[in-house]
Structures are given as structure tokens and as C-alpha cells.
Amino acid sequence: MKAREIPVLLTNDSDINNWTHLNDQNKLKFTIDNTQKTTLLPLYSIIDNRYMVYWDKFSTA
């Protein structure tokens, strides 16, 4: 299995509501507009997959 890149959050905007978007309220599916489009799902829905819970957040400054 090929290792996947671990996404980081790169933003100067500290308000998470400005760069996360709810895609499906029933499934609690979100996307993040970042250098790559990242999908966020509840941990219970992906428990049999690899997952990341903690994120590094950087600014461009």
C-alpha cells in the first residue's frame, strides 16, 4: 500500500467557519478548502479505515 500525504491546514484565517463547508448534514460530511480539497467525516463512520484526528495548522505569514 502506498503511503498517502498527510494534509496540513494552511490559512491566515483563524475562523474555521470561513474555510470549512458542510456537504451533508445527515452524515456530518465537511470539506476544507485548502491546498488540496480535504473531506472530513465522523470517526465512527470510518473506523475500519486509516484516519487522522489531529491536524497541523500553518499561516502563510
Digitized pLDDT (tens) for each residue of the chain, 61 residues in all: 455 666 677 788 888 888 889 999 999 999 987 667 788 888 888 777 666 666 777 787 7
In order of 24, 25, 39, 55, the CA distances from 6 in angstroms are 24, 25, 13, 9
Per-residue model confidence (pLDDT) at position 1: 44
Strands (E), 1-61: 9-10, 20-24, 29-32, 38-40, 57-58
Per-residue model confidence (pLDDT) at position 23: 92
**Gap between the terminal Cα atoms of the chain:** 36
Q: What is the dihedral of CA 12, 18, 21, 26, to 10 degrees?
A: 130
Per-residue model confidence (pLDDT) at position 2: 54
Task: Write the single-letter amino acid at 37.
Answer: K
pTM passes above 0.85:
no
